[in-house]
C-alpha cells in the first residue's frame, strides 16, 4: 500500500523539505525552464516557445520571465552556456544553455519533494507533471498519490454547512470539483497502467 | 484501540481464466469511534471491501479481525457489541410498521416483543426518526429511509457500522448533509465506528480518514493517523 509516503515523515519534516527545495528552485518558472533545458539544450527564444506550449494555462511565459529564470539558474550553477547550431538559419552558432549535474540533481529533488496540502496543491502537481518525462511513470505515480492525498484531505476537512442555500451551493461547487479531481486521478492511473503494459515498466 | 483490522486481504471471484480480483492485498485498520470513508468508482471493489470487512464474504487471502476475533471463525454481524451492515432493503414479511422492522434484529436474540419495541424506539429516537415509528416502510421518503435503516442497524448496539453509499439516493444536498451529520454525531457522541463507501467526494466531508479504492487497491492512510493516547497515572506520594 502506498500510504507510507505520507506516514514516514511528520508534517513538519515534509514542510521543511518542501520549503528547502522551493528555496533552491526559487520559482515554478525556474523549475519549468530547468526541466526544458534538461530535456533538450536550447537557446532563449526556443525555450520560450517550448515553455509556452508546455505550461500553457499554468505559468506565465513572458520572455522577461524566461530570461530571468535562465540568469538565476546560471547564477546557481544549475545551467551553463553552450554554443548551439541555429538550425541553419544564419549559419552561425547561437548561445544556448544545458543543465549541469547539479541542475539535474536539483530537478529530481524538486519533482519528488513533498507537496503541501492546500489550495495550491493542484497547481504544484500540474506544473511538476508537465515537467515529468513521458517515460518517468514512477514520478507521475508519486505526483498522483500526492495530489490524491491533498484532495482527500481538503474534502475531508471541508465543513458541512446546511445553514442556507447559498452556503450549500458554494459547498456543492467545491465538492463537485473534488469529485472531478478524484475521477481524473483514477483515470490517470488507468492510463499509466495501460502505458506500462504497452511499453514495459 | 483498533476495532477492525484487515491484513493482506485479497478477494477473487470466479475460477481459471474467468477469475477476477476484487481486492488486492488490502491493509486497513479502523479505531473505535472513527469515521472512515472510502471513495471509489463503480466496480472499484468498494462494495466487496465492505462485505469482506463485515464478514459477509470471506477473503481469498489474508485475515479480517473485529475486536481481535477472526471473522472467518466467528461472525460478529448483528451481535451486541459487534458490527452491523446498514441496508435500506426491507423485507415486507418482517412486519408492517417501521417499529417492527427496526426491532426485528433483536427478536432473534430471544428478546420479548415489548423489549424489541423499546429498543427500536430508542434507536429511532437516536437517529431523529421517531415520528416514522408507526409508518409503513413503503411510505418513507429517501431521507427517512436511510435514518430508519441506520436505526435498524443500531438496535443491536454495534460498535461498528458498515455502510455502502448511504447517501446515494438523496438528491438534495441538504438531505445528504443531514444524513452525514447524523453519522458523524453517532461516531462522536456514541463512539460508534463507521466504515462507509462513497461515490462522491462530497460525502468525505467530516470523515476522520478519507481513502480511495481503485481496481481493488486501497490507497491513503490505511491506519489511524494518531496512536491512542494513554493517560499517565500519577504515582501516589
Quick one: B62 and B91 in the same domain? no
Q: Is B138 a residue whose pLDDT tops 80?
A: yes
What is the reported pLDDT for B27? 97
Contact A175 B174 (CB under 8 A): no
Q: Give me the number of domains chain B comprises.
A: 2
Q: How far is B209 from chain A (nearest CA, A)?
A: 7
- Count of beta carbons in the 10 Å neighbourhood of residue B77: 16
Q: How far apart are CA A28 and CA A58, in angstroms?
A: 10
What is the reported pLDDT for A2? 41
Local confidence band at A3 (pLDDT 50, 70, 90 cut-offs): very low
Residues with Cβ within 8 Å of A74's Cβ and at least 6 positions away in sequence, in order, are A80, A81, A97
Which of B122, B157, B192 marks a domain boundary?
B157
B236 is a domain residue: no
Q: How far apart are CA B106 and CA B140, in angstroms?
A: 22
- Count of beta carbons in the 10 Å neighbourhood of residue B103: 28
Quick one: B109 and B200 in the same domain? no
Please give the radius of gyration of chain B, using alpha carbons only, rounded to the nearest integer. Answer: 18
Mean pLDDT over the full length of chain A: 85
ipTM, two decimals: 0.79
B233 is a domain residue: no
Vertex B195, ends B190 and B197: CA angle to 5°? 135
The answer to which of A85-94, A176-185, B164-173 has the lowest mean pLDDT is: A85-94
Q: How far apart are CA B46 and CA A175, in angstroms?
A: 20
Q: How far is CA B201 from CA A25, A119, B26, B174, in A?
A: 34, 16, 21, 15
The answer to which of A24-33, A65-74, B70-79 has the lowest mean pLDDT is: A24-33
More confident residue, B213 or B202: B213
B232 is a domain residue: no
Vertex A165, ends A164 and A170: CA angle to 5°? 105
Vertex B37, ends B28 and B84: CA angle to 5°? 80
Helix A165-199 and helix A137-157: axis angle, to 10°? 160
More confident residue, B93 or B233: B93
Residues with Cβ within 8 Å of A17's Cβ and at least 6 positions away in sequence, in order, are A9, A113, A114
Q: Is A5 a residue whose pLDDT tops 50?
A: no
Query: CA-nearest residue of chain A to B172?
Result: A168
The answer to whether A94 touches A84, Cβ cutoff 8 Å, is: yes
DSSP assignment letter at B236: P
Which of B128, B157, B186 marks a domain boundary?
B157
What single string gives the DSSP state of each residue in A152-180? HHHHHHSPP--S-HHHHHHHHHHHHHHHH
Q: How far apart are CA B179 and CA A149, in angstroms?
A: 25
Q: How far apart are CA B163 and CA A39, in angstroms?
A: 49
Quick one: B151 and B166 in the same domain? no
B95 is a domain residue: yes
Q: What CATH code is carried by the domain that includes residue B10?
A: 3.40.50.300
Q: How far apart are CA B87 and CA B51, in angstroms?
A: 12
Q: Which residues does chain A have within 8 Å of residue B217's beta carbon, measured at their own beta carbons?
A: 1
What is the reported pLDDT for A4? 37
Q: Which residues does chain B have within 8 Å of residue A145's beta carbon, measured at their own beta carbons?
A: 219
What is the reported pLDDT for A91? 67
Please report, in angstroms and rounded to a whole number, the separation of the first and last CA atoms in chain A.
Answer: 18
Please report, in angstroms and rounded to a whole number, the separation of the first and last CA atoms in chain B.
Answer: 31
Task: For residues A37-46, give the mean pLDDT.
Answer: 92
Pairing of strands B83-86, B193-198: unpaired
Task: For residues A63-72, give the mean pLDDT.
Answer: 93
Local confidence band at B30 (pLDDT 50, 70, 90 cut-offs): very high
Residue A196: in which H helix or E strand, if any? helix A165-199
For residue range A96-153, list pLDDT tens digits in order: 999 999 999 999 999 999 998 888 899 999 999 999 999 999 999 999 999 999 999 9
What is the reported pLDDT for B228? 47
Local confidence band at A86 (pLDDT 50, 70, 90 cut-offs): low
Quick one: B222 and B164 in the same domain? yes
Q: How far apart are CA A27 and CA A72, in angstroms?
A: 10
B49 is a domain residue: yes
Q: Is B98 a residue whose pLDDT tops 90?
A: yes
Contact A6 B221 (CB under 8 A): yes
DSSP assignment letter at B186: H
Please state, for a pLDDT cut of 90, what percent of chain B lies above it.
69
Least CB–CB distance from A182: residue in B206, B212, B221: B212
B57 is a domain residue: yes
B137 is a domain residue: yes
Quick one: B146 and B176 in the same domain? no
- Domain extent for B94: 87-157
The answer to whether B17 touches B26, Cβ cutoff 8 Å, is: no
What is the reported pLDDT for A1? 37
B148 is a domain residue: yes
Pairing of strands B209-214, B217-219: antiparallel
**In chain B, which residues touch A (CB < 8 A)?**
25-27, 37, 39, 41, 44, 173-174, 177-178, 180-181, 200-202, 204-212, 214-215, 217-223
Least CB–CB distance from A160: residue in B180, B211, B222: B180
Q: Is B80 a residue whose pLDDT tops 60?
A: yes
Pairing of strands B193-198, B35-40: parallel
What is the reported pLDDT for A161? 62
Quick one: B55 and B92 in the same domain? no
Q: Is B210 a residue whose pLDDT tops 50?
A: yes
More confident residue, A92 or B179: B179
Mean pLDDT over the full length of chain B: 90
Amino acid at each position: 500500500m502506498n500510504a507510507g509516503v505520507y506516514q514516514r515523515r511528520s508534517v513538519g519534516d515534509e514542510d521543511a523539505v518542501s520549503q528547502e527545495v522551493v528555496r533552491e528552485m526559487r520559482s515554478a518558472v525556474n523549475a519549468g525552464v530547468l526541466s526544458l533545458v534538461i530535456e533538450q539544450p536550447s537557446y532563449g527564444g526556443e525555450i520560450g516557445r517550448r515553455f509556452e506550449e508546455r505550461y500553457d494555462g499554468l505559468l506565465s511565459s513572458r520572455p522577461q520571465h524566461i530570461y530571468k529564470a535562465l540568469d538565476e539558474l546560471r547564477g546557481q550553477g544549475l545551467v551553463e552556456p553552450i554554443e548551439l547550431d541555429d538550425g541553419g538559419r544564419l549559419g552561425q552558432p547561437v548561445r544556448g544553455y544545458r543543465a549541469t549535474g547539479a541542475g539535474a540533481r536539483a530537478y529530481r529533488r524538486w519533482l519528488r519533494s513533498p507537496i503541501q496540502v492546500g489550495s495550491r496543491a493542484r497547481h504544484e502537481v500540474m506544473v511538476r507533471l508537465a515537467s515529468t518525462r513521458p517515460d518517468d511513470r514512477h514520478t507521475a505515480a508519486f505526483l498522483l498519490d500526492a495530489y490524491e492525498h491533498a484532495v482527500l484531505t481538503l474534502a475531508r476537512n471541508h465543513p458541512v454547512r446546511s445553514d442556507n442555500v447559498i452556503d450549500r451551493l458554494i459547498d456543492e461547487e467545491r465538492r463537485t470539483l473534488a469529485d472531478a479531481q478524484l475521477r481524473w486521478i483514477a483515470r490517470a492511473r488507468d492510463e499509466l497502467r495501460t502505458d506500462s503494459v504497452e511499453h514495459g515498466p | 484501540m483498533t476495532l477492525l483490522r484487515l491484513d493482506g486481504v485479497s478477494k477473487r471471484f470466479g475460477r481459471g481464466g474467468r477469475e477476477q480480483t476484487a481486492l488486492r492485498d488490502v491493509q486497513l485498520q479502523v479505531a473505535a469511534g472513527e469515521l472512515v470513508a472510502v471513495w471509489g468508482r463503480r466496480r472499484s471493489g468498494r462494495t466487496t471491501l465492505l462485505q469482506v470487512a463485515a464478514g459477509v464474504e470471506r477473503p481469498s487471502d489474508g485475515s479480517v479481525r473485529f475486536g481481535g476475533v477472526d471473522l472467518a471463525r466467528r461472525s460478529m454481524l448483528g451481535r451486541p457489541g459487534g458490527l452491523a451492515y446498514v441496508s435500506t432493503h426491507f423485507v415486507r414479511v418482517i412486519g408492517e410498521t417501521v417499529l417492527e422492522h427496526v426491532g426485528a434484529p433483536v427478536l432473534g436474540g430471544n428478546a420479548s416483543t415489548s423489549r424489541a419495541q423499546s429498543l427500536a424506539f430508542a434507536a429511532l429516537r437516536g437517529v431523529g426518526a421517531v415520528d416514522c415509528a408507526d409508518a409503513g416502510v413503503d411510505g418513507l421518503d429517501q431521507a427517512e429511509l436511510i435514518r430508519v435503516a441506520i436505526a435498524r442497524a443500531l438496535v443491536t448496539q454495534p460498535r461498528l457500522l458498515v455502510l455502502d453509499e448511504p447517501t446515494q439516493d438523496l438528491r438534495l444536498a441538504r438531505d445528504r448533509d443531514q444524513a452525514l451529520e447524523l453519522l458523524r454525531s453517532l461516531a462522536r457522541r456514541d463512539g460508534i465506528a463507521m466504515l462507509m463507501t462513497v461515490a462522491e467526494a462530497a460525502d468525505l466531508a467530516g470523515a476522520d480518514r478519507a481513502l480511495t479504492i481503485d481496481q481493488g487497491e486501497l490507497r491513503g492512510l490505511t491506519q489511524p493517523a494518531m496512536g491512542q493516547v494513554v493517560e499517565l497515572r500519577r504515582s501516589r506520594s
